[in-house]
Amino acid sequence: MPKVRVSAFSLSLDGFGAGPDQSLEHPLGRGGMGLHAWLFPTRTFRSMFGEEGGSTGPDDAIAARAMAGIGAWILGRNMFGPVRGPWPDLSWRGWWGDVPPYHTDVFVLTHHARPPLAMAGGTTFHFVTEGILPALERARAAAGGRDVRIGGGVSTIRQYLQARLVDELHLAVSPVLLGRGEALLAELDPESCGLRQVSYVPGEGAGHFLLSREP
């Protein structure tokens, strides 16, 4: 059965999924890029951007599993870009250049409507103003029997966790301290989310915790 997954979501040792002060210069907040140092060198990550080579150890194997079987993505607006409030125009097309790494339909949660944005490589961004449930319904329909991945950011993942809509949660805990930023698990009751830990794998650059929905 298709799942709703949070895969390879990086956390700092002190529980932050993004640093403070997001900007064009700091897409993941100050210090946030360090959360993903385990992922960037892997062959899986490089292949998502059409690059060759990369590491092939445990972190790459876990990254490959995290990216496999995804039929659609859901993102919060901050994951799409730093623009706040009503769209001033349609010039902002994401952080990733002309060929985003998703290669599927991507549903972006926002309070401000915008026409769909088709990009090279098979990615189309759809901007959903009705909330998390309509976004998930549309993502499931677009996924065609494959999994839906909740890609972030922190606020978006927390909403789906609190609504008990996440079937699988993979956290990659990086050896980084941020001190402040966006905390994923603060005041979040794990029992209310219906998830339990099923495995732990030590990687070269992060520790990988997998939680799954209780039967």
| pLDDT tier, 190 (very low <50, low <70, confident <90, very high otherwise) | low
Share of the chain above pLDDT 90, in %: 85
Taking a C-beta distance cutoff of 8 angstroms, is the pair 94, 80 a contact? yes
CA–CA separation, 77 and 44 (whole Å): 25
The H or E element that residue 132 is part of is helix 132-143
Give the helix ranges, DSSP H, for 17-131. 43-48, 58-67, 77-80
Taking a C-beta distance cutoff of 8 angstroms, is the pair 101, 49 a contact? yes
| pLDDT tier, 141 (very low <50, low <70, confident <90, very high otherwise) | very high
Residue 6, pLDDT score:
97
Q: Output the domain CATH number for residue 198.
A: 3.40.430.10
In a domain, 170, yes or no: yes
Structural domain that includes position 72: 4-86+97-213
Q: Check residues 28 and 208 and name the one with the higher pLDDT.
A: 208
In a domain, 91, yes or no: no
pLDDT at 191 over 80: no
In a domain, 78, yes or no: yes
Q: What is the pTM of this model?
A: 0.94
Work out the number of other CB atoms within 10 angstroms of the CB of residue 132. Answer: 19
Alpha carbon 87 to its chain centroid, in Å, reads 22
Average pLDDT over every residue of 167-171: 96
User: Could you give the number of structural domains in the chain?
Assistant: 1
In a domain, 26, yes or no: yes
Residue 91, pLDDT score:
94
In a domain, 179, yes or no: yes
pLDDT single digits (tens) 30-50: 999 999 999 999 999 999 888
In a domain, 144, yes or no: yes
Whether omega for the bond prior to residue 181 falls within 30 degrees of 0, making it cis, is no
In a domain, 37, yes or no: yes
Alpha carbon distance, N-terminus to C-terminus of the chain: 14
